[in-house]
Amino acid sequence: SQKIEQNSEALNIQEGKTATLTCNYTNYSPAYLQWYRQDPGRGPVFLLLIRENEKEKRKERLKVTFDTTLKQSLFHITASQPADSATYLCALDNTDKLIFGTGTRLQVFP
């Protein structure tokens, strides 16, 4: 069966450290993968898109990797801040739809 898996348990880290979130998928062959940030009671906000022929993409303190062999994407936030606390969703394209993972909640403590 097709699955997108993100760690359902919250990730708690100290301010200044690097946060690493994982997105694994099964039985999909996405042309691209996206990451979104969602705050409680709000709509998701797009962060980054990485294509299947790209290994890595960066935007300010954010870095995303995409390994189509491992069927995995890693999302890194360097020098994390309490303001980075939110739920982060990965999403991948499946033919004509965007399929979302369940998200991982990140909590950054001062």
Partner 1 sequence: DGGITQSPKYLFRKEGQNVTLSCEQNLNHDAMYWYRQDPGQGLRLIYYSQIVNDFQKGDIAEGYSVSREKKESFPLTVTSAQKNPTAFYLCASSPGHSTGELFFGEGSRLTVL
Closest contact distance (angstroms) between CB of 86 and partner 1 is 14
Closest contact distance (angstroms) between CB of 107 and partner 1 is 17
46 or 109: CB nearest partner 1: 46
Distance in angstroms (rounded) separating the CA atoms of residues 26 and 42: 28
2 or 69: CB nearest partner 1: 2
Closest contact distance (angstroms) between CB of 3 and partner 1 is 10
Closest contact distance (angstroms) between CB of 91 and partner 1 is 8
- 8-state DSSP, 82: G
Closest CA to 73 of 96, 55, 87, 58: 55
Is residue 108 a contact partner of residue 13, using CB atoms and an 8 Å limit?
A: yes
43 or 110: CB nearest partner 1: 43
Residues that bind partner 1 (CB under 8 A): 4, 8, 32, 34, 41-46, 49, 89, 91, 93, 95-103
- HSE, side-chain direction, 13 A CA sphere, residue 85: 12
Q: How many residues does the chain have?
A: 110
49 or 74: CB nearest partner 1: 49
State both tokens at 69: 């062999």
